[in-house]
Amino acid sequence: MTIRVARSACALLSFVSPVALAAQSAPIRSTIARTPGAWTDTARTPTERADALAKAMTQAEKLAYVHGFFPPMAKPQAPDMIPSAGYVPGVPRLGIPTLRESDASLGVANQVEQRKGDVATALPASLATAASFDPDIAYAGGAMAGAEARAKTFNVLLAGGVNLTRDAWNGRNFEYLGEDPLLTGIMGGASIRGVQSNHIVSTIKHFVLNSQETGRAILDARIDRTALRESDLLAFEIAIAEGKPGSVMCAYNRIDGDYACENKFLLTDVLRGDWKYPGFVMSDWGAVHSTEKAANAGLDQESGQELDSKIFFGKPLVDAIAAGRVSTARLDEMVHRILTGVIASGLYDDPTPAAAQTIDYAAHAEIAQRAAEAGIVLLKNTGDVLPLAKTARSIVVIGGHADVGVLSGGGSSQVRSVGGIPIEIPLKSGAAASFARITYHASSPLRAIQALASKAKVSFVDGRDPAAAATAARGADIAIVFATHWQTEAQDTPSLSLPDGQDAVIDAVAASNRHTVVVLETGGPVLMPWVDRVPAIVEAWYPGQRGGEAIARVLFGDIDASGRLPISFPRTIDQLPRPRPVESPNGSTKNDASANAGAGDAAALAAYPVTYQEGADVGYRWYATRKDRPLFPFGYGLSYAKMRIAKARFVGGTAASVTFEVTNQGTRAGTVIPQLYATLPDGGAPRLVGWARRSLPAGATATVTISADPRILARWRERGWQVAGGAYTLTLATDADHPVASGKVTLDGRSLQSARAALDTQ
């Protein structure tokens, strides 16, 4: 069974969800009817309670809790099953909840409208949230998605995507948080904390190195282990420490030969041994390939079992235990870890309601809009074309379907947004065809622009014809071109160029109007051959269901442009570590069904190695090691305010930090995101070790301190993390490429643990 076929099954369902129908009904309180025991004693730790609970379960109950259904394909259907990603029946007599799983990277997902009429609030792309550099924004988005999930009776959210962007080509970059382990870890952790503030479980995913979509089920990621510790694993380590997710989702791919979901080094040595992670490991959907190898390596729960080539944790696990190939102690541990996640998140004591509750969609739309606004990045603003004057007499808006909505990314994260879907285009082919459609949220930038420039004549041309666009632009005060680049799970992008002749439209418009603004709706970097010919460029990402309003507010300066790039934008593809679109083993750049197959087919295909020769030097560090400069660097973004950073004082000793003054010398309020980078005593590329986000009124000065996070100052040594003693170069900068001040400090050598303690006592 391939994912392609399986996903088609959900597309065919025309199911009217009781949840959707009841979505506006009165709140229903859940009641807990469970046998009391040590497990109900909230004075005990989650581990102690899970111990007691696991002991009270029968062997059959334990075996049933370690594998879950994919509801669209499950037979028979349980009465309370609704189409979504997963369902694991609970044990009511002990109060062990049925796990009801939904995707939720950007809000509660409802791909291909498998639950007819069930809408949810669509956040902007995670990459946009990362661009805010604001953990509070990430937390608020997670808390909102978690609240909606809970109200829809879901209690496990498949959220928390923290894979680092190693390839600009990766079709899922929009679902992740960029290329830096610290930014990713902090923002990912905050979002998970937000989800779990609703007393439900969040995952963190995809553990690890699912860095491309092409051939994801057969890809064998090859990387030096120390480099892995200091990059992708570090992002997970930080996010897990910050967010304490109840569950980790292991990835599709192999790492150094072993599948992620049967990789002992990852699941046992690192996750449990080094990180002391107490929660459970669930598989990605269709990512299990064995019974005893997976169970003994540390996989605790097989997800969406119908998508695997067979059910590995059902009868085969019973047999493996009977034959002693998997110990009963290991089964106990699997169950114990699931229960620990369930108890520690608060779900056990505060179960989700049996029927749907009312959702305050209006309040949630505001959260989505704040996130979109905070993540919009002003890339270029020559001659202060922006912010636009509200007194403009004529504005022409061109392309990108800006008359009706904003683009979203595709795949399992797809939210069916409140407000509607004005455009939905099915795919004719490719691995994503069965579960992704090119989808726009109904948030019209055109209407939002008109609302803010009520005296202007605002017109729209669709941008299909460069000459017509140029003619319309010629007579206008301002021309705004909306350019889109769609990306989706299950397919990498075949090109970083804007598709469908949009470059030609931008060139034609810029040639006929000096006041041309390009607004990009993309899931990552795109090439900009016209960059020198366009005075103003705004990166709005996939901005979610209030994206139109957010873009308009930034264009008119109702709020500052405050986002910063969480990802480098190359000038040419030759600058990238893998400068060509990734190829699947059969030579195609597309992630065709065979390269994305489930276990049975995948096993038949030869392993597909991809070597990450850049090691830990991901993104901006890759450019630094090569002494190369991207078009727009990591951390970059302009503000409408004129911020001046001065009087930097760098401090070393037991912990590293910088203190400085920032003054808003402009005439409008603005936001500044100064960043601290460190070069370690043994050299190498500078690393982001901290940042601050401050909003200042015009004329104001603030004193700011940024402490260097010891987790990034440390290097992985055989026996663990070590902050080396010696001279560190600290650089205060506005982005990875633009230093403001730098200084050398000496740090005492110590273990990471003691370096963190030193920081805490500062």
Q: How many residues bind ligand BGC (CB under 6 A)?
A: 8
Residue 419 burial (C-beta neighbours within 10 Å; 0-12, 13-18, 19+) = middle
Residue 387: CB minimum distance to ligand BGC, A: 38
CA distances from 379 to 208, 347, 392, 564 (A): 31, 43, 22, 9
Residue placing its CB nearer to ligand BGC in the complex, 112 or 406: 112
Per-residue contact string for residues 404-433; x = within reach of ligand BGC by CB under 6 A = --------x---------------------
User: Is residue 207 involved in binding ligand BGC (CB under 6 A)?
Assistant: no
3-state per-residue secondary structure call for 136-192: HHHHHHHHHHHHHHHHCCCCEEECCECCCCCCCCCCCHHHCCCCCHHHHHHHHHHHH
Residue 695 burial (C-beta neighbours within 10 Å; 0-12, 13-18, 19+) = middle
User: Is residue 176 involved in binding ligand BGC (CB under 6 A)?
Assistant: no
Residue placing its CB nearer to ligand BGC in the complex, 288 or 449: 288
Question: What's the gap between Cα 114 and its chain centre?
Answer: 23
Per-residue contact string for residues 56-95; x = within reach of ligand BGC by CB under 6 A = -----------------------------x----------
Residue placing its CB nearer to ligand BGC in the complex, 71 or 466: 71
User: Is residue 284 involved in binding ligand BGC (CB under 6 A)?
Assistant: yes
Residue placing its CB nearer to ligand BGC in the complex, 167 or 373: 167
Residue 205: CB minimum distance to ligand BGC, A: 6
For the CA atoms of 245, 250, 252, 253, what is the dihedral angle to 10 degrees? 120
What letter does residue 419 receive in the DSSP assignment? T
Strands 280-283 and 258-259, by their bridges, are: unpaired
Amino acid at 723: V
Strands 701-707 and 694-696, by their bridges, are: unpaired
Give the residue, chosen from 91, 100, 103, 317, that forms a contact with ligand BGC under the rule CB under 6 A: 103
Residue 163: CB minimum distance to ligand BGC, A: 10
Residue placing its CB nearer to ligand BGC in the complex, 82 or 158: 158
Helix (H) or strand (E) holding 553, with range, is helix 547-555
Residue 505 burial (C-beta neighbours within 10 Å; 0-12, 13-18, 19+) = buried
Residue placing its CB nearer to ligand BGC in the complex, 545 or 596: 596
Residue placing its CB nearer to ligand BGC in the complex, 205 or 693: 205
Helix (H) or strand (E) holding 629, with range, is none
Residue placing its CB nearer to ligand BGC in the complex, 259 or 622: 259
Residue 223: CB minimum distance to ligand BGC, A: 20
Residue 211: CB minimum distance to ligand BGC, A: 13
Residue placing its CB nearer to ligand BGC in the complex, 284 or 306: 284
Q: Which residue is nearest to ligand BGC (CB)?
A: 158
Residues 668-707 that bind ligand BGC (CB under 6 A): none
Q: Give the residues across from 439 on adjacent strands.
A: 424
Residue 109: CB minimum distance to ligand BGC, A: 8
What letter does residue 268 receive in the DSSP assignment? I
3-state per-residue secondary structure call for 57-83: CCHHHHHHHCECECCCCCCCCCCCCCC
Amino acid at 549: E
User: Is residue 158 involved in binding ligand BGC (CB under 6 A)?
Assistant: yes
User: Is residue 302 involved in binding ligand BGC (CB under 6 A)?
Assistant: no
User: Is residue 205 involved in binding ligand BGC (CB under 6 A)?
Assistant: yes
**What does the chain come to in residues?**
762
The values of phi and psi at residue 28, to 5°, are: -120, 125
Residue 284: CB minimum distance to ligand BGC, A: 5
Q: Where are the beta strands (DSSP E) in 336-455?
A: 377-381, 394-398, 406-407, 423-426, 437-441
CA dist 347 and 340 (Å) reads: 10
Residue placing its CB nearer to ligand BGC in the complex, 231 or 596: 596
How many helices (H) and strands (E) the chain has is answered by 22, 33
Residue placing its CB nearer to ligand BGC in the complex, 124 or 710: 124
Calculate helix-pair angle for 361-375, 547-555, nearest 10 degrees: 50
Residue 282: CB minimum distance to ligand BGC, A: 9
Residue 341: CB minimum distance to ligand BGC, A: 16
3-state helix, strand, coil in the chain (%, to 5): 30, 25, 45
User: Is residue 100 involved in binding ligand BGC (CB under 6 A)?
Assistant: no
Angle at 190 between CA 188 and CA 193, to 5 degrees: 110
Q: Is 44 helix (H, G, I), strand (E, B) or coil?
A: coil
The order of strands in the sheet holding 247-250 is 86-88, 99-103, 156-158, 201-207, 247-250, 280-283
Residues 613-652 that bind ligand BGC (CB under 6 A): none
Judge contact between 94 and 112, C-beta under 8 A.
no
Give the residue, chosen from 65, 176, 236, 285, that forms a contact with ligand BGC under the rule CB under 6 A: 285
Residue 176: CB minimum distance to ligand BGC, A: 11
Residue 304: CB minimum distance to ligand BGC, A: 6
Residue 156: CB minimum distance to ligand BGC, A: 10
Residue placing its CB nearer to ligand BGC in the complex, 210 or 512: 210
Residue 3: CB minimum distance to ligand BGC, A: 6
Residue 298: CB minimum distance to ligand BGC, A: 19
Residue 653: CB minimum distance to ligand BGC, A: 43
Residue placing its CB nearer to ligand BGC in the complex, 158 or 320: 158
Residues 118-147 that bind ligand BGC (CB under 6 A): none
Rg from Cα positions in the chain: 25
Residues near ligand BGC (CB under 6 A): 85, 103, 158, 205-206, 284-285, 412
